[in-house]
Structure 1
Amino acid sequence: MAERQDREQEYIFRNVQLLKNDTLGTGSYGAVCKAKCDQLLCAAKLLYSVLFQIAVPDPGKEHRHPFRRFETECAFLKRINHPNIVQYLGTYRDPDTNAPVLLMELMDESLTHFLESSPVDILYHIQVNLSYDIAQALAFLHSNGIIHRDLSSNNVLLIAGSRAKVTDFGMSKFRDINITRLATMTTCPGTPAFMSPEALTNHQCTQRN
């Protein structure tokens, strides 16, 4: 099992081009598009610019602000190196908005798309491989005091339809990790269809649910 690294990891690119018209996915807080970093095609996560104009009325709840969550995700990924977690490449400033952009390795598709587009049942050995990869990612996270809290098929990305990596840590709960303001986040975020009954009824997320 790979271990969390104390030093930050970041690649240095001479030229970054955001391919905003080549969208890979959208969410409540932003979109993911393709980007070209030097000669490397990668994925770029951008927050909607309107979110940076939202005021935080209570200073004690800054962690709930989308920008704070974005900072949290970037700070976490800098310190993580695991074969079943999407690889962090660096951050970049969008020249059009001056907003931060998260650069990550480019994967082929989401588990959602893979399942919905398959014309036949997924082969058993593929099911085992994907389940194993996701379990490895979660075991690594839990061993480092991290609870994902929004694990869904949208947040599992695939390579060649046979191996899986977990992504999107904007809703995660962090413990015992040296990043400022990571300990307190919303009580029970997530995608209802993928949440355990305990999380829905008790409004708490733990390693067990």
Structure 2
Amino acid sequence: MNTRKVVFLFYTTLIIGTVAGFLVGFIVDFQTHINDLSNGQFGGFIMIIITASIWTVIAQMGFFAYLTVHRFGLGIFKSVSLWNKIQVVIIAFALFDIMFFRHMAFAEEGEGMLGFAVLPLLLLIYGLIVAYIKSKETNMGAFIPALFFMVVVTTIEWIPALRENDTTFLITSIVPLLVANTWQLLVLHHLHESPGKKNSGNVKAKAQPQK
């Protein structure tokens, strides 16, 4: 992947993630922002954009960090099957930790863990959908790595919000993260495709003598 494609990935991810985060941030606190705009106050409006862009940049950092970790994992364990099994175990731990530690931090006396299982469950469902799409567009071997990225890496990126018991903060942070991570994951293999492969069919067809 050349520099032009890396720059394309960076800017498209930044734009898509920021726009998604801005829309959600604006909708979540819609009345307040409408009142600010009607009074000529744009501070809150600008802060939504800045915050969404920060979460998007964090997602980009996580993505490139995972690409490095994934290569290290393949190199250390020397087996795709073993590395995939380890990733599945880490996925399970990450989902459990979201539920367990948030329950420890924010549960009221006598409150069970069931209510704190909603976030990891939703994240898992979304991750499974994206991983399925990725595997359909590439190969089945991409399913576990894609699920690992969408669940574990997104969870790590989401930690600052997970440490707070604020639903608005959780929503306005997870949306740009998920949108940015989904875009990066699903567009990556398209960027790796060479023009020669795309046009090879046409070239062969032209090369065939006409009857």
Q: TM-score under structure 1 normalisation?
A: 0.31
Greater relative contact order (CA < 8 Å, ≥ 6 in sequence): 2
Higher strand proportion: 1
Q: Counting helix residues as a fraction of each chain, which structure ranks higher?
A: 2
